A and B are shown apart, each in its own frame.
Chain A
Amino acid sequence: MTTTEYTKPLPRPAEPELTEPFWEGTKRGELLIPRCSFCDEFFWYPREACPSCLQPGWEWTAVSGRARLHTYTIVYQPANPAFNDDVPYAFAVIQLDEGVRMMSNVVQCPVEDLAINMPLEVVFDSVTDDWTLVKFKPA
């Protein structure tokens, strides 16, 4: 059996209890985004209180996974050498159709084909048994 060990950094949550549902969701193939129960706003990144109305009540809400490439940069010199074998790759700001923006990678797309505003859809990358990362590919 040949398994390649995943050597890149895994997510290290500052508040694991707060974001555990998100990471459990990615393992099921669900993209969950916080949505305020009071003002209905989606927001990203997860935090205890809604940044719009500062009320603490919000729910993890499954979203479509459809998105646009808001902007990107093609990496040649990663901060972490664990990514050296991947260069050049796209480090990107993804804007979900629900409005919020998050950082991710655009995969399954040669870097020369990247274009701002290109439609994207979520893909779930199970990098280890415990962690499934959220990435995006051309839609």
Chain B
Amino acid sequence: MSIRGKAAIVGFYETPTRKEFPDRTTYGLMAEVARGVIIDSGLRKEDIDGLIGQENLNSIELAEALGMQPRFTSSMTVHGASGAASIATAAEAIAAGVANYVLCIFGESRPRSSSRLTSQVQAGPQLPRPSRTTEWEVPYGPVIAMNGWYGLMKQRHMFEYGTTQEQFAKAVVDQRFNATKNINAVWYDQPVTIDDVLNSRFTNDPLHLLESVMPCSGAHAVIVTSAERAKALPNPPVYVLGVGGPATHHDIIYTDADMTTTPVVDSAPTALQMAEVNIRDIQLAQFYDCYTILEMACLEDAGIVPKGEIGPFYESTDTTYKGAFPINTDGGQIGAGQSGGTGGGFRHIVEATRQIMGRGDERQVEEADLCLVNG
């Protein structure tokens, strides 16, 4: 049995993504996008009987805060893949008849001057719980946020395939251009050049600051329902044709796997096979982009280009919304900001929905019927 085409996204809503909303709480942002997406979908709040949220918010508490009594709730715990995985889970629940209208909702209002980046590993009065990390990594001086791990991956990709700093920078330039057409983006109206990226400081060589996401505040939501119910609603349905998502490792360094290859080598073929779609038919892509290297390696592993050729691809291809193969048309997380921590990858679902519904306004991709989203 396949869930191909059995569920559809019928509406979306998002707040702007900003460094902070000083007077707003996380639940406040969540309430705003919940209300917004229910209206956008042509539904009533009472219709919502499924709720999927992010890993750092208990989904039952979230339901209570939103005054909902869903029959089905879940919190996604697969880090950056959570946003995309929420749609797979929603589609599965709907195909199984467990829920009829599932609200997928991600977001966060970060405290002012949040020190979350360093608090995970900092010595001091509030030590993190002892873990594998505190024993085997912290004594050797990891980098801020996740920058160290992706710097290690990027170094290896440059070594194996000769990928250049300019090629990585081009991905940033294209996405920051897309963000200039997204008024909700944190970097709206602030395009960058290749030189800007190359001249931004190394948090850790070979990773530049401008290749990294900025943790932000904001919230995003969509509603998923059955293909049958979707036909009665105002927006053109965005059908979920295929999903795939293996868990191969948490930290690839502790496996013997190739450090430049991602689980997308399995998840993309699984999703495409279910969808009965060839990778060549994909018209645009929204790919999780905490750092350039992850997005680029995942695009290779999905088969957009052969392994190792993503650098030359970016160099020779306009990947903006008006280009030959548009990627992260809202700016992605690198251009628009990462709200809700790893739940920030949910913006890729929202943008795919917007594009397929033809509601991209200035940044609408001309042919946007088949989009591949990766978390």
Given known contacts A14-B131, A86-B141, A77 and B136 CB-to-CB distance under 8 angstroms: no
- A-side binding surface: helix, strand, loop or mixed? mixed
Q: Is A75 a contact of B143 with CB atoms below 8 Å?
A: yes
Which chain B residues border A110 with CB–CB below 8 Å? none
Which chain B residues border A14 with CB–CB below 8 Å? 129-132, 134-135
B155 is contacted by which of A72, A104, A135 (Cβ under 8 Å)?
Answer: A72
Q: Is B123 a contact of A103 with CB atoms below 8 Å?
A: no
- B-side binding surface: helix, strand, loop or mixed? mixed
For B117, the closest partner residue in chain A by CB is: A79
Task: Count contacts on A: residues with CB < 8 A to the other chain.
Answer: 41
Binary flags per residue of B327-362, CB closer than 8 Å to A gives 1, else 0: 000000000000000000000000000000000000
Q: Is A74 a contact of B204 with CB atoms below 8 Å?
A: yes
Given known contacts A14-B132, A116-B159, A91 and B201 CB-to-CB distance under 8 angstroms: no
Q: Which of A10, A70, A78, A88 has the most CB of B within 10 A?
A: A78
Q: Is A11 a contact of B141 with CB atoms below 8 Å?
A: no
Which chain A residues border B120 with CB–CB below 8 Å? 79
Given known contacts A11-B134, A45-B254, A73 and B207 CB-to-CB distance under 8 angstroms: yes
Is B59 an interface residue, CB under 8 A from the partner? Answer: no
Q: Is B118 a contact of A79 with CB atoms below 8 Å?
A: yes
**Which A positions have Cβ atoms within 8 angstroms of B?**
7-14, 19, 44-45, 70-83, 86, 88-89, 91-93, 99, 101-105, 111, 116, 133, 135
**Which B positions have Cβ atoms within 8 angstroms of A?**
117-118, 120-123, 127, 129-132, 134-145, 147-148, 151-156, 159, 201-207, 253-256, 259
What would be 12 A-B contacts, judged by CB atoms less than 8 Å apart? A10-B139, A11-B136, A13-B135, A72-B155, A75-B143, A76-B202, A77-B143, A80-B138, A91-B204, A93-B253, A101-B253, A104-B140
